[in-house]
Amino acid sequence: MSLQVLVKRRFRAARDLVFRAFVEPATLETWFSPSPEIATEVLEHDARVGGRYRIGFRFPDGSRISVLGTFREISPPVRLAFSWTWEPPDVHAGVETLVTIVFDERDGGTEVTVRHDRFPDAPSRDRHDEGWTGTLARLATRLGES
């Protein structure tokens, strides 16, 4: 049985705006990390089905790590799916997981549901649960909501 993360967050912003925050590289760099201390750099981002992305993260101690994947589905502004694979030296480097994000209109705003599947173990799942929770909190800040 595959382990899964499921994180939801509501935003006051319109669904199209929230969706674009996930697919526009310049915007993505301003918020896509679990904490403000971790800098994000979009190294590659071909937002089309079959296109690849690679995102680098720089930590306060100067260390770096990158995640990469392929876009599996892009259905603006409703759904986004992509593979997710950490590069070395991450302990789970080479393990491909799958992220599916659904953008639902709710009460004049947007509810984002992130489902991240195929974790090899509970520690990896828990790390990503914390990561997605922090990342969506940073998106709220980027959207002027916190």
Q: Which CATH number do you get for residue 32?
A: 3.30.530.20
pLDDT at 127 over 80: yes
User: Chain-wide mean pLDDT for the chain?
Assistant: 96
Domain with 77, as residue range(s), is 3-142
Of 131, 139, 135, the residue nearest 5 (C-alpha) = 131
pLDDT at 101 over 70: yes
Q: What percent of the chain has pLDDT over 90?
A: 96
CB environment 73-98: b (16+ within 10 A), e (fewer): ebeebeebbbbbbbeeeeebeeeebb
Number of domains the chain is built from: 1
Per-residue pLDDT, averaged over 23-31, amounts to: 97
Give pLDDT, residue 24. 97
Per-residue pLDDT, averaged over 1-14, amounts to: 93
Give pLDDT, residue 39. 97
Residues 135 and 18 sit within 8 Å (Cβ to Cβ):
no
Give pLDDT, residue 1. 56
Tens of pLDDT, residue by residue over 37-71, are 999 999 999 999 999 999 999 999 999 999 999 99
Per-residue pLDDT, averaged over 104-118, amounts to: 97
Give pLDDT, residue 2. 78
